[in-house]
Amino acid sequence: MSPIELFAAALGVLAVWLTVRQNPLCWPIGLVMVLIYSWIFFDVKLYSDMLLQLVYAVLQVYGWLQWTRHGHGLPVRAVTALNAGAVFTGLAAGAVLSVALGAGMAHFTDAAQPWLDAALTGFSLVAQFWMAQKRLQCWPLWIVLDVIFVGLFVYKALYLTAALYALFTLLAIQGWREWRATLAPAQ
């Protein structure tokens, strides 16, 4: 465990806790965290996770804009639920991205876990996009992904990061509970 990993983990806890509370400061704090983690994952040859962190950086800005749009005379984004078709479409997109990225990582890099890393990346992008839009379904997807991430990070001896993702799992459970309580009625 390095001091930089400890710092990134602390930022991660704060960012997810703020997300659960629906505080828009989660996005700039998360932006710093994902940029640090992109370097950490590059260093341990989890290239899909490194790329994921860089895409997260873009999604952090997107989420920040989505959650703070009320500053421009628009209403605050409410928590909503996706219909079954939208859930299926998102998960299908995650699967396609996972297979394409996994194939590229397996054939063109020395990635440590190309297929698992790619699958976690593909579906994490779906979860992050749903989170930026305040879709309730982001949380159960995060719960599944975070549990799998814990195992991957233990395997790669990133023990602090594994503990962080275990905490993320608990925060995702809390987020799911809290967001369900504030779910906007279907329109």
84 burial via Cβ count (<10 Å: 0-12, 13-18, 19+): exposed
- What average pLDDT score do residues 164-187 get? 88
Give the confidence band of 75 by pLDDT, cuts at 50, 70, 90.
Answer: confident
Q: Which residues pair with 80 in a beta bridge?
A: 135
**Per-residue pLDDT reduced to its tens digit, 81-90:** 999 999 999 9
**Per-residue pLDDT reduced to its tens digit, 91-112:** 999 999 999 999 998 999 888 8
Q: Is the pLDDT of residue 78 over 90?
A: no
Q: What is the pTM of this model?
A: 0.84
- What percent of the chain stands above pLDDT 90? 68
For residue 95, what pLDDT is reported? 98
Is residue 117 within 8 Å of 152, Cβ to Cβ?
yes
Q: What does DSSP assign to residue 157?
A: T
The owner of tokens 């809290």 is 178
- What average pLDDT score do residues 128-154 get? 95
Task: State residue 78 phi and psi, 5-degree precision.
Answer: -95, 155
Task: Report the alpha-carbon distance of residue 114 to residue 103 in Å, rounded.
Answer: 8
Q: Is the pLDDT of residue 184 over 80?
A: no
Task: Report the alpha-carbon distance of residue 28 to residue 102 in Å, rounded.
Answer: 29
Task: Report the alpha-carbon distance of residue 83 to residue 78 in Å, rounded.
Answer: 16
Is residue 54 within 8 Å of 41, Cβ to Cβ?
no
Q: Is the pLDDT of residue 61 over 90?
A: yes
**Per-residue pLDDT reduced to its tens digit, 29-52:** 999 999 999 999 898 888 878 888
- What average pLDDT score do residues 144-155 get? 95
Q: Is the pLDDT of residue 26 over 90?
A: yes
**Per-residue pLDDT reduced to its tens digit, 3-20:** 998 999 899 999 999 999
For residue 113, what pLDDT is reported? 87
Radius of gyration of the chain (CA): 16
For residue 70, what pLDDT is reported? 66
Task: Report the alpha-carbon distance of residue 144 to residue 87 in Å, rounded.
Answer: 15
Give the confidence band of 2 by pLDDT, cuts at 50, 70, 90.
Answer: confident
For residue 39, what pLDDT is reported? 93
